[in-house]
Structure 1
């Protein structure tokens, strides 16, 4: 059975444009204001200095490249850009032209030679080649050649130096996922999910703008805001799956001299609670290592988390110290209990109790170089000074 792939090719070309726009938004620097789709070109990049990038996208479901020397894709693109320059030659002063394909260029093809033009001599050679080819174009390409023929050599040569031809831009993601810095810390499966969800958001946003009669241009700051929210959701899901195994077989005697254990000794807690605290301390430490090694939680997020834990402790301390307990040790135990019964959160996700407890004990830990951030005994600071003496 003979299958007509033209409809499929058109559909994939349509998807490719949105994936290319998503790639552009992901890789935009601070100088990019917005990215348009089917506005000035297939994709257009608009910068703060009023400069622009016009991008034509050519995808193929076959092997090779859709940009052969006498392809409609190549000559029609040159025709579109030539018409723009003929209508207003000043666009050459602040515009780049990018021709992008998922196919592969051969080293000696016309598209590659256009890409390689960078100054007068190289552009003159390619300009002369194009002039010669115009006279031998087949019938369906003649109108495109006629447009180019209207341009003088100086104008055509300047246009050629403004054109970049980018090949091997993956048809699935409009380029390489590995080149997107914003998602470099994730494994491939999550990178793919992030890209697909943001590409879907781009499509929906463009449809909304079109229905509202608004220019189909996406603000980079809107894209960044949506992406940050998505990362937050995915990071939360990853944290739940990235908690270190709880190891109850640890030799707790190795930790008896640790600062956070001394703090527990000062309020006379029993050996069972001390053992539990040591295991939680280790569990929280091992989990933080996994999170940071896998870029699941940023350092700024951990610092914010610690700040929230200290707020919880300060509230518990005020409540405990107001109680009419007979001894400071009992007030300290109450402070510990009130603190540990609270939940803690990262990105809105409740942490397991062992992680919360372990991180409180981390804040209570001290050594010769570091003072504790929190304490249980009402006079823990005086007790610290006594140790130092």
Structure 2
């Protein structure tokens, strides 16, 4: 087995962008603030008529290397901003380098912590460093060396020196460093600490719900299911809904409109159950509804163990209603051909999908989607608690219920 740390780092880097963006938007004071991921920069915030581009540098290391004038992360960030300069109005733009690392105390980069501090000395240092990188690389090339130095920084240094001195000074005046940021392990906890308008005992649960909702929005934005702009008022609205859900201790059907992963497959017994009645054409809708019900059941049971009893009781209620229909069907199937039995079984499946969600009371007032009833029937079919063919227990080797 291989362990691709670079792939892990890349995945964590993107996840960090998403989590950081959530905390960033929450901390904004105006509700018309809007945030984007991976447009002009890792995170782009529009607020109070200003655009803030933020480059994020993440690490899980307990002590990341200090940021210095020679840091690759610094120069890669400069290159990213130089590349989008034609699309920016610098008079209304700020550029933030956000890093979990600290700044070297001996570096002139310290001046980037305060927008009001003069940056002329740092500008000279940057020019000299860029020139040194290009000079050492050119020297090595002339000497015929195969491995040229500064490969990770050369393009950035060249791009910086190609700017006019005026443009270099202008872009530097817009840069601010945000060092010592928390890493991805602690962002959800940090969000919970800042939910001051709810009881402390509820903050972690609400933060968890906000993170899960936020992650769905990020996925949908990158899949084209929603715009890439996420407004703060959306976040506040979800926050208020989460508070209400927690205070009412209600079951929330988070998966009512979600779709399963493309790789998801239902339990083989569900497939066998529908094959008995030649209803394979139902496979796609069954997979969707069974996955929704399964995910909801799992989440509710994890969030609050007391809900498990509610789920079990409702399962018994569904089995009871199904049992009446099943008893009538099996009585009507006496002496019928196999084709006729399959047809009757398809009728019972049809009832479970279209009629049952409308005539059986809901599990809870907040769970109104038909998906839960539809999917639960198929979950129950795995162990033979329900079935569609009149002889499914015998044909699938389920023991008769006493």
TM-score, with length taken from structure 1 = 0.54
Per the alignment, residue 140 of structure 1 pairs with: 152
**Cα gap change, 1:107/1:186 in structure 2, threshold over 3 Å: closer, same or farther?**
farther
Give unpaired runs (5+ residues) of structure 2: 134-149, 251-364, 367-402
CA RMSD in angstroms, aligned pairs only: 3.0
Per the alignment, residue 228 of structure 1 pairs with: 240
Q: Which has the larger radius of gyration?
A: 1
Query: Given the alignment, which residue of 109, 134, 145 partners 2:107?
Result: 109
**Cα gap change, 1:129/1:4 in structure 2, threshold over 3 Å: closer, same or farther?**
same
CA distance, structure 2, for counterparts of residue 18 and residue 110 of structure 1: 30
- Structure 1 residue 64: deviation in Å? 3.0
**Cα gap change, 1:197/1:216 in structure 2, threshold over 3 Å: closer, same or farther?**
same
Per the alignment, residue 386 of structure 1 pairs with: none
Residue 135 of structure 1 aligns to a residue whose secondary structure is: helix
Query: Given the alignment, which residue of 84, 89, 92 partners 1:91?
Result: 89
Residue 209 of structure 1 aligns to a residue whose secondary structure is: helix
Per the alignment, residue 204 of structure 1 pairs with: 216
**Cα gap change, 1:111/1:153 in structure 2, threshold over 3 Å: closer, same or farther?**
same
CA distance, structure 2, for counterparts of residue 208 and residue 183 of structure 1: 29
Residue 19 of structure 2 aligns to a residue whose secondary structure is: helix
Per the alignment, residue 41 of structure 1 pairs with: 41
Per the alignment, residue 128 of structure 1 pairs with: 124
**Cα gap change, 1:228/1:165 in structure 2, threshold over 3 Å: closer, same or farther?**
same
Q: Is the 8 A contact 2:102 2:180 kept in 1?
A: yes
**Cα gap change, 1:123/1:154 in structure 2, threshold over 3 Å: closer, same or farther?**
farther
Per the alignment, residue 55 of structure 1 pairs with: 54
Q: Is the 8 A contact 1:52 1:94 kept in 2?
A: yes
**Cα gap change, 1:32/1:153 in structure 2, threshold over 3 Å: closer, same or farther?**
farther
Instruction: Please state if 1:217 is matched with 2:229.
Output: yes
Q: Is the 8 A contact 2:108 2:121 kept in 1?
A: no
Query: Given the alignment, which residue of 170, 174, 177 partners 2:190?
Result: 177
Residue 168 of structure 1 aligns to a residue whose secondary structure is: coil
* Cα deviation 1:25-63 (Å, max 9, x = unaligned): 2112226431111122111111252x2111111111223
Residue 108 of structure 1 aligns to a residue whose secondary structure is: coil
- Structure 1 residue 16: deviation in Å? 0.9
- Structure 1 residue 81: deviation in Å? 1.1
Q: Is the 8 A contact 1:100 1:169 kept in 2?
A: yes
CA distance, structure 1, for counterparts of residue 163 and residue 192 of structure 2: 37
Per the alignment, residue 22 of structure 2 pairs with: 22
- Structure 1 residue 142: deviation in Å? 0.8
Instruction: Please state if 1:164 is matched with 2:143.
Output: no
CA distance, structure 2, for counterparts of residue 101 and residue 136 of structure 1: 25
CA distance, structure 1, for counterparts of residue 188 and residue 108 of structure 2: 22
Give unpaired runs (5+ residues) of structure 1: 239-347, 350-389
Residue 89 of structure 2 aligns to a residue whose secondary structure is: helix
TM-score, with length taken from structure 2 = 0.52
CA distance, structure 1, for counterparts of residue 61 and residue 130 of structure 2: 27
1:251-266 correspondence runs (5 A): none
* Cα deviation 1:173-209 (Å, max 9, x = unaligned): 449727964436543x643433332122122112223
- Structure 1 residue 159: deviation in Å? 1.6
Residue 61 of structure 1 aligns to a residue whose secondary structure is: coil
Q: Which one is further off, 212-221 or 21-30?
A: 212-221
How many residues of Structure 1 are paired with residues of Structure 2 in the alignment? Answer: 234
Per the alignment, residue 12 of structure 2 pairs with: 12
Q: Is the 8 A contact 2:192 2:206 kept in 1?
A: no
